Amino acid sequence: MRILLLGKNGQVGWELQRALAPLGELIALDRRGAVEEGMRPGEGARLCGDLTDLDGLAATVDGLAPDVIVNAAAYTAVDKAEAEPALAYTINAAAVDVLARAAARNDALLVHYSTDYVFDGSGERPWQEESPTGPLSVYGRTKLEGEEAIRASGCRHLIFRTSWVHGARGGNFARTMLRLAVERERLTVIADQIGAPTGAELIADVSAHAIRATLRNSALCGTYHLAAGGETSWHGYASFVIEQARRLGAVLKVEEIAPIASADYPVAAARPLNSRLDTRHLREAFGLHLPDWRQGVERMLREILE
Ligand SMILES: NC(=O)C1=CN([C@@H]2O[C@H](COP(=O)(O)OP(=O)(O)OC[C@H]3O[C@@H](n4cnc5c(N)ncnc54)[C@H](OP(=O)(O)O)[C@@H]3O)[C@@H](O)[C@H]2O)C=CC1
Ligand SMILES: Cc1cn([C@H]2C[C@H](O)[C@@H](COP(=O)(O)OP(=O)(O)O[C@H]3O[C@@H](C)C(=O)[C@@H](O)[C@H]3O)O2)c(=O)[nH]c1=O
Ligand SMILES: [Mg+2]
């Protein structure tokens, strides 16, 4: 079996390199691409991993004819996307459309990631897969357009909507809090946005299990919510990170972590207040357990700090 992984050096992509390796021959690309190994030096074809190169991307999938395409690449700078909507659209929607059509042509399974930011954040009930969407930001809107392109293409697919991703490698909220806690005595952190921090390791491992199951049973194809168990606010998340980091011996300057409202934290892109994702469909379809978010965060902190 041949697997094509795009975005291999992002938080999720990095963990997928590990989790997908035992499933088959893995061709992992970042935006710089690679040269396919030929029989003789210089003979290999150029492999494109750049999601802004739509023709290169289609040619790469057709050339490799993979059994599975896993797309971990995305435009993830939420505030910056408000000023760069065209680029965000190309990477999060147009390129995904190209991948979905190529998957359909090559009868490949397409695995893709989406976000809690496709929802408008109203209410307090966890969102289900079929709940009405209503993105508040360019990032959320372009991610939703990517999902819709996949569903319209007719390709076999798995779309995993996840939330608040963290990994030991790459930029994320926990790392930002650790950095600020060294520099400042007081942090102000939003306490009225509720969701679940989810580890890139967990996402990658669940993806590998789900891919194996779906290759044996196409009825499992579809859109699933994939987030760690439990819920918290960004303030609760920050407080846990600081407390655990101290327990692990980190020397931090911070003395106060003040809870604030979203309205008191002006940013370019609006975020949903309710980012809770109901993961029952995923757990039941694949027979998996999703551990509490604290477990993944603690593990990441150990990896960073010990
Ligand atoms: N991060 C989060 O909190 C959440 C993420 N998601 C989704 O999960 C998936 C994985 O996210 P995550 O791993 O955290 O994201 P990261 O930002 O860590 O990784 C995204 C990767 O995409 C790459 N990329 C960006 N533009 C291009 C391009 N034009 N061509 C090729 N690669 C490109 C980046 O490369 P480079 O480093 O070179 O820019 C980076 O390696 C995404 O679909 C994201 O939307 C969903 C919910 C939450
Ligand atoms: C740095 C900082 C952020 N915040 C707030 C802003 C924001 O609402 C929240 C998180 O900040 P971030 O910039 O990490 O958030 P953001 O980049 O919006 O994170 C999102 O990324 C995309 C890719 C997703 O798909 C989402 O699931 C989510 O993880 O915390 C504070 O309240 N205080 C602070 O000091
Ligand atoms: Mg961010």
Q: How far is the CA of 274 from the centre of ligand 1 (A)?
A: 22
More confident of the two residues 1 and 38: 1
Full DSSP string of the chain: -EEEEE-TTSHHHHHHHHHHGGGSEEEEE-TT-EE---SSTT-SPEEP--TT-HHHHHHHHHHH--SEEEE------HHHHTT-HHHHHIIIIIHHHHHHHHHHHTTPEEEEEEEGGGS---SSSPBPTTSPP---SHHHHHHHHHHHHHHHHT-EEEEEEE-SEE-SSS--HHHHHHHHHHH-SEEEEE-S-EE--EEHHHHHHHHHHHHHHHHH-GGG-EEEE---BS-EEHHHHHHHHHHHHHHTT------EEEEE-GGGS--SS---SB--B--HHHHHHHT----BHHHHHHHHHHHHH-
Average pLDDT of the chain is: 96
Q: Which ligand is nearest to the CA of 74?
A: 1
CB of 189 within 6 A of ligand 2: the answer is yes
* Residue 128 in this model has a pLDDT that exceeds 90: yes
pLDDT at 190 (0 to 100): 98
Annotated active-site residue 75? The verdict is no
- The one catalytic residue in 139, 224, 237, 265 is 139
**Is residue 299 included in any domain, yes or no?**
no
**Is residue 165 included in any domain, yes or no?**
yes
Quick one: which atom of ligand 2 is closest to the CA of 163?
27
CB of 184 within 6 A of ligand 2: the answer is no
**Is residue 190 included in any domain, yes or no?**
no
* Residue 178 in this model has a pLDDT that exceeds 80: yes
**Is residue 264 included in any domain, yes or no?**
no
Nearest CA to ligand 2 atom 34: 189
**Is residue 297 included in any domain, yes or no?**
no
- CATH number, domain of 11, equals 3.40.50.720
Quick one: which atom of ligand 2 is closest to the CA of 262?
8
* Residue 71 in this model has a pLDDT that exceeds 90: yes
239-278 residue pLDDT tens? 999 999 999 999 999 999 999 999 999 999 999 999 999 9
Domain count along the chain: 1
Nearest CA to ligand 2 atom 14: 173
**Is residue 150 included in any domain, yes or no?**
yes
**What is the pLDDT averaged over residues 159-172?**
94
* Residue 41 in this model has a pLDDT that exceeds 80: no
Nearest CA to ligand 2 atom 16: 78
pLDDT at 35 (0 to 100): 80
* Residue 39 in this model has a pLDDT that exceeds 60: no
CB of 164 within 6 A of ligand 2: the answer is yes
**What is the pLDDT averaged over residues 168-188?**
94
* Residue 236 in this model has a pLDDT that exceeds 80: yes
CB of 190 within 6 A of ligand 2: the answer is yes
CB of 170 within 6 A of ligand 2: the answer is no
Confidence of residue 306 (pLDDT cuts 50, 70, 90): confident
pLDDT at 42 (0 to 100): 61
**Is residue 249 included in any domain, yes or no?**
no
Q: How far is the CA of 284 from the centre of ligand 1 (A)?
A: 28
pLDDT at 45 (0 to 100): 76
**Is residue 283 included in any domain, yes or no?**
yes
> Domain limits at 218?
2-172+197-230+276-292
78-115 residue pLDDT tens? 999 999 999 999 999 999 999 999 999 999 999 999 99
CB of 198 within 6 A of ligand 1: the answer is no
Confidence of residue 171 (pLDDT cuts 50, 70, 90): confident
291-304 residue pLDDT tens? 999 999 999 999 99
